[in-house]
Amino acid sequence: MKNIKLNFVLLLSCISFPIFAQQLTGADPTQAGANQTEAVEITDVIFQANGFGNSFMVTTPAGNVIIDTSLVTNAARHKELLQAKNDGPVKYIIITHAHGDHTGGINLWREEGTEVIAQEEHVEFVNYQYRLRGLFGQRNAAQFPGLAAGIRAREIPDGVDNYGATIQATILFDQEYRFELGGIEFVVMHTPGETYDHLSVWIPEYKAAFVGDNYYSSFPNMYTLRGTKPRWALDYVNSLNRILALEPEILIPSHGQAVHGFNNIETSVSRYRDAILYVHDETVKGMNQGKDVYTLMDEIKLPSDLDIGEGYGTIAWTVRGIYENYIGWFDGNPSSMFSTPPSDVYPDLVALAGGAESVAELAQRYFSQSEFERALHAADIALKADPQNESALNVRLEALQSLADQSENSNEKGWLQFGIRQTEAVANDR
Ligand SMILES: [Zn+2]
């Protein structure tokens, strides 16, 4: 039982969770594609099983190539759907990157002699996720309670095992790896973006590009609230340019459906790339002008012709991600160098203001002016002085609920709902 729990935490800790706000909000992402009865035929040799994320099979006369293997909970269904189309031997499994919604089915698909291909940064990325599995387990349980239900007793590793992860890949490459199977050429390319071990697969004969999570239908989640290593904007731009230069006729992302026709692909991928580059360049410009991170989070907006939606990633988090990835945490204020946080003086400030009840009143005033973010800060300050203050708990709850009601971003909603559950738990304990 202990091991089952641990494995589930590991599964959760590595999920990238892109896409489709409506699927995620309140729904169980493991159910994505559950009603699919037949694999999608992208071409007569390329098949897709839908899920969170998708699995693909490319068939050749000499055996098959599997690209991405979805969540462990989707993998058996995917294997059944894809093998109903062709049950030839599995010669290669290619993993676009080491998030759990891409690696979950490796063991299920692997046969004797199957090669598993990943980019060489895969090793560090898998170890990184394993090293921090306790933290990611907690963050994912907060953000995705539906998925994490039943694992309340989370396994927290005792010590630190820096290089303890199991590496499933058998072929690792640096820039490019080419192979031929059944007369079909496969070109596997390092295309960092979503992760630094990210790869794309190019099949020249079909002009098909498998782009993993470097392209999906929202502004990318370039800073991930559950926590992630930097996702570099310029890496995305270069990787997307590399794909466009191939002039693909089929673009196959690991979340969502394939895009057909080079004209369509060029239009949508260029727009996606230009949106990322715009946010990057505006952030760099503002940093050089000496603007602080909050000013830039507030100021930078996509022009309407580059508006690719914020259902999953947001511009504000991306701006802050770029800012802090470039220069780290210090904001240039000498007060921030020390281990005493501003919140250490909140209780005395609250006393000066007449107590937690007065500060909760201020929070309520912000709330009635629809200043929900300020209301949250004021409630937090009151609660720092008096963690059980009923008025402050109530206004915090109302502000979180109002923000959740107006949010169209699945990650934002996830954390607001976490805050609501947390506040309710304190209120119920009073
Ligand atoms: Zn993914």
Span from the CA of 264 to the centroid of ligand 1 (angstroms): 23
- The phi and psi torsions of 9 (rounded to 5 degrees) equal -60, -40
Q: How far is residue 4 from each of residues 76, 129, 428, measured CA to CA in Å?
A: 18, 18, 32
The answer to whether residues 391 and 360 touch, using CB atoms and an 8 Å cutoff, is yes
Q: What is the pLDDT of residue 17?
A: 41
What distance in angstroms lies between residue 207's CA and the mean position of ligand 1's atoms?
Answer: 23
d(CA 10, CA 325): 26
Q: According to the model, what pLDDT value does residue 154 have?
A: 59
Q: How far is the CA of 309 from the centre of ligand 1 (A)?
A: 18
Cross-strand bridge partners of residue 344: none
CA 103 to ligand 1 center in whole angstroms? 10
Distance from the alpha carbon of residue 402 to the mean position of ligand 1, in angstroms? 29
pLDDT for the residue 371: 98
Alpha-carbon distance 225 to 318, whole Å? 11
β-pair partners for 90: 64
**Residue 335, exposed/middle/buried by CB under 10 A (0-12, 13-18, 19+)?**
exposed
Residue that is written with structure tokens 């390329």 in the block: 46
CA atoms of 184 and 59, how far apart (whole Å): 9
Residue carrying the six token digits 């511009």: 315
Count of Cβ atoms closer than 10 Å to residue 364 Cβ: 19
Q: How far is the CA of 52 from the centre of ligand 1 (A)?
A: 7
Which tokens sit at 87?
């049950």
| CB 100 within 8 Å of CB 74 | no
Is the overall model pTM greater than 0.85, yes or no?
A: yes
Distance, in Å, from the CA atom of 115 to the CA atom of 61, rounded to the nearest integer, reads: 17
**CATH number for the segment(s) 2-264:** 3.60.15.30
The C-alpha atoms of residue 281 and residue 294 are separated, in whole angstroms, by 16
Query: Separation of 395 CA from ligand 1 center, angstroms?
Result: 36
The CATH class, in words, for 339-429 is: mainly alpha
pLDDT tens for 355-409 read 999 999 999 999 999 999 999 999 999 999 999 999 999 999 999 999 999 999 9
What are the structural domain ranges in the chain?
2-264, 339-429
CA pair distance 44, 95, nearest whole angstrom: 22
Distance CA 251, CA 277 (A): 21
3-class secondary structure, 76: helix
| Cα distances (Å, whole numbers) of residue 111 to 106, 114, 426 | 10, 5, 51
CB–CB of 74/163 below 8 Å? no
Residues 187 and 316: their CA atoms lie apart, in Å, by: 36
What's the CA-to-centroid distance between 193 and ligand 1, angstroms?
12
Q: How far is the CA of 54 from the centre of ligand 1 (A)?
A: 9
Contact assessment for residue 41 and residue 68, using Cβ atoms and an 8 Å cutoff = no
* Residue ranges of the chain whose pLDDT lies below 50: 1-26, 150-152
What pLDDT was estimated at residue 147? Answer: 65
CA separation, residue 109 to residues 47, 124, 167, 252 (Å): 15, 23, 16, 20
* Pick from 43, 72, 99: nearest CA to 213: 99
